[in-house]
Chains A and B, each alone.
Chain A
Amino acid sequence: MSSSGERMIALKSCEGDVVYIKETGAVQSLFIRREMKFIKADPAYPPIDLDMINTATLNKVIDYCNHHAEFANDKAALDSFDAQFVEFDGNTSLFQLIHAAHYLKIYSLMDLTCRTLSQNIKGKSIAKLRRLSENSSDNGECLI
């Protein structure tokens, strides 16, 4: 439980790290929402295993969900947050974020990240796209 009394949901990344997300943020994920009844029924419910998502990406997702839950009615604040959110510092990748959003079924995050990736792809010639895909690693930094 957080200091404000709000329930915190435990998530476990593929690296074994356990991170926590507020319940209000967690319900934005349809995947977690389906687990919610089991979590509420069992106080000792283990962390939800997300073996497809690494810790850095998971922290980013939690940040997004918590912020969107907190400022759900303030569109301007959300828009400015979203614009900054998709500026990556290189540790997390756009591809992994899209994958995480899809896995967790957070459709607003999927829409934001897919639009960002499409903007990065738009207008590039085939040779550039190929060069970028040659340089891609699992992180998928290539198309940024």
Chain B
Amino acid sequence: MALNLSHRPVFTGHMSDHLSDDGRDRDIIDLLPPDPFMMDISTTITAITGWFEDLEMDYDGYGKKKSGAPKEDYGLYAGLNLILDQALRFQSFPGNMFDGKHGNAIEEREPRGALQHDGFWLVNKAEDNPSFRSGSSSAMMDACPECSGRCSDAGGTPHEALLYTLSYLGLKDLLSVERVCSSLYSMVRSDPFLWRSIHIDKPLNEKITDEILLQLSSRAQGNLQCLSLVECPRITDDGLKRVLDTNTRLTKLCVPGCTRLSIEGIVNILKDFKHRKGTSGIKHLRIGGLYGVTPELFEELKFLLGTDGQVQITGQRPHFYRRGNFYLLCDDDRAIDIEICPRCQKSRLVYDCTAEGCQAKENATDICRACTLCIPRCSYCGRCINDEYEETFCLELMCSDCSKQVPVCQEMQNRQDGLIENVVHPESSHNICLHG
């Protein structure tokens, strides 16, 4: 299929061509061909935009009733798939990643390269929404065209062994596995113990909303024990409250870096939760990265956690400032992650020092232990920075030793790789944090 450029030339090089009949400058949009691939694109984009809005509401794609979409909708979605697959067939991506089979296009191409053409913003969206490849989220359940027949040809339902492995998978992988076929979907959905501990980290943290969080937490069927949301900017106080309203067995709540949450909101949520019948209350709270913790609120939080009368445990594990370890998470035993900074007396995350000379100090006034505003630290090694340092592109500090060892381009690559890195926590099965 050739580009349909016959109707309008894109670039003419003549000034007169850039002017409309009344002499005004014509916008470049007016000069572009309306439908270069003859896809009836306006209708297609309208339908797909609406479908993505529905997907955004149902994060996992299966939040709607299990009976599925009406058959006419399934036909539309199947048709849309066909349109986009055929569109992909005639485009070559950078590095020629596309091999012509529609099953390979989405997951084998370079995602960044796919954004370059207007017609392929959808493809990049599909990278973020794996269920797109299967057409309508709910229609997939009714007819799994990719693998239903093949699964049965390969020996019936997936091996029992996979069932035992599910508890070792992170959230993102669980959500992928459940989309493979209907029997795996049943396996994942039917086991509430897989969802007793939910941990959302990069890259899904950017995408999760209140509604999606509520749906995910409902999979635990009231057995949710640990909820960890790391830097989830779309979670609100109201959304968090709804999750706690329906999960009375929650004991660990980690919301570091969730900037839409307020400390007052968290205090109110914990108060309501503690006074609710049947709950033992939250015992472990992580709010590092949230600002506005006044001394009164800090005391109130400690009271709600039941630690206001307890002396700080001196044998607790040191917390070092390092990329990927900025926040304390559920695997630490502390009731609350923030504490009074020894230097500024503000309630913040306090870090220990990795430098050998600092660890040997015993005098309380000399101990190298404070918040990062009082003692700046290298984001690579965690040591205190007293002399030369380099501020990275990501506005983190790097000490002179680390800046010599880590080239700038490598630092950029590490940062990009970190965006898709999952944090792994060593927890036993059935109580494992699901990372995604």
Interface residues of chain A, those whose CB is within 8 Å of chain B, are 94-99, 102, 110-111, 113-115, 117-118, 121-131, 133-138, 140, 143
Contact = CB atoms under 8 A, between A and B. Distances in A.
Given A102-B164, A114-B164, A136 B154 contact: yes
B95 to A, nearest CB: 18
Contacts of B155: 136-138
A31 B107 CA distance: 43
User: Most chain-A CB neighbours within 10 Å: which of B134, B151, B168, B181?
Assistant: B168
A114 B168 contact: yes
B164 A129 contact: no
A120 to B, nearest CB: 9
A121 B429 contact: no
B199 interface: no
Looking at chain B's contact residues, the main secondary structure is: helix
Given A114-B429, A122-B169, A134-B147, A129 B176 contact: yes
B261 to A, nearest CB: 29
Contacts of B147: 130, 133-134
Interface of B: 103-104, 106-107, 130-131, 133-134, 146-147, 150-151, 154-155, 158-162, 164-165, 167-170, 173, 176-177, 179-181, 422, 429
Given A130-B146, A130-B181, A133-B181, A118 B165 contact: yes
A136 B181 CA distance: 13
B429 A133 contact: no
A134 B176 CA distance: 16
A94 B162 CA distance: 10
A138 B146 CA distance: 20
Nearest to A96: B161
25 contacts: A94-B161, A95-B161, A95-B162, A99-B160, A111-B429, A114-B165, A115-B168, A117-B161, A117-B165, A117-B168, A118-B169, A122-B173, A123-B173, A125-B107, A126-B133, A126-B179, A130-B146, A130-B180, A133-B158, A134-B147, A134-B150, A136-B154, A138-B155, A138-B159, A143-B162
A94 B159 CA distance: 11
A31 B206 CA distance: 47
A86 to B, nearest CB: 13
- Kindly list the 8 A-B residue pairs having the minimum CB-CB distance in the complex, ordered from nearest: A98-B161, A118-B168, A125-B107, A95-B161, A134-B150, A95-B159, A126-B130, A114-B165
Contacts of B179: 126
B164 A110 contact: yes
Nearest to A124: B176
B164 A127 contact: no
A117 B162 CA distance: 8
Contacts of A99: 159-161
Nearest to A100: B161
A130 B180 CA distance: 5
Contact of B180 (A111, A115, A133): A133
Contacts of B146: 130
B176 A126 contact: yes
A140 B160 CA distance: 10
A6 B368 CA distance: 59
B174 to A, nearest CB: 10
